[in-house]
Amino acid sequence: MKRWTTALVVAAGLVTAALVTPAAAQHSTPTGPYCGITWGSLDKSASTASNAPVTNLRSGRHDCYDRLVVDVAGNPAGYTVRYVSAVTAQGSGNVVPLRGGAFLQIDLTIPAYDGSGRPTYNPANQRELVDLAGYRTFRQAAWGGSFEGYTTVGLGVRARLPFRVLTLEGPGSGSRLVIDVAHQW
């Protein structure tokens, strides 16, 4: 009788586990990509023509991604943004040292100086363009220089993660190049 009762209790436990486990697993399985992000990590580029120079860099934190913004004094810039094994500086080709598990090279087809050669963006610290303390994905933004109408910024990130690039109007008569990097896949 004892064995029969024990067998019945074990069987009831197995049936309960079989019924409950799929439901619990179903609720813990993601129903789609992280925050609906479907950007991917392949190169992104646009061949927009502009002579408007870079005027500022800034950053922001969002729930699902970190954002880097390049302010431009005029029409949107052409760009190529891609993951590389090392970011290289404009003109010299020297490696731009960056912290992080992966590196985005942001190449803009605009200068960071005006028609007279005066800088329109002259960072106080070329190794730390913006304060990224507390960011989930970004580790470091560093200056890669501006030479012969091209400008490079290096962005060190935690890992090779999905990113997108947008061009937006404003503020004023300017525009912005926006690089968003997701916190995870």
Please write the tens of the pLDDT for every residue from 136-160: 999 999 999 999 999 999 999 999 9
Classify each residue of 20-50 as buried b or exposed e, where b means 16 or more C-beta atoms within 10 Å of its C-beta: eeeeeeeeeeeeeeeeebebebeebeeeeeb
DSSP string, 76-88: PPPEEEEEESS-B
Q: Distance (Å, rounded) from C-alpha 58 to C-alpha 98?
A: 17
- Output the pLDDT for position 3: 57
pLDDT band at 31 (very low <50, low <70, confident <90, very high): low
**What are the backbone dihedrals phi and psi of residue 42, each rounded to the nearest 5 degrees, phi first?**
-80, 165
Classify the C-alpha dihedral 155-158-161-167 as positive or negative. negative
Query: Residues in the chain, how many?
Result: 185
CATH class label, 36-182: mainly beta
| pLDDT per position as a tens digit, 156-172 | 999 999 999 999 999 89
pLDDT band at 48 (very low <50, low <70, confident <90, very high): confident
| pLDDT per position as a tens digit, 65-122 | 999 999 999 998 899 999 999 999 999 999 999 999 999 999 999 999 999 999 999 9
Return the domain boundaries, the chain. 2-31, 36-182
Q: Distance (Å, rounded) from C-alpha 163 to C-alpha 165?
A: 7
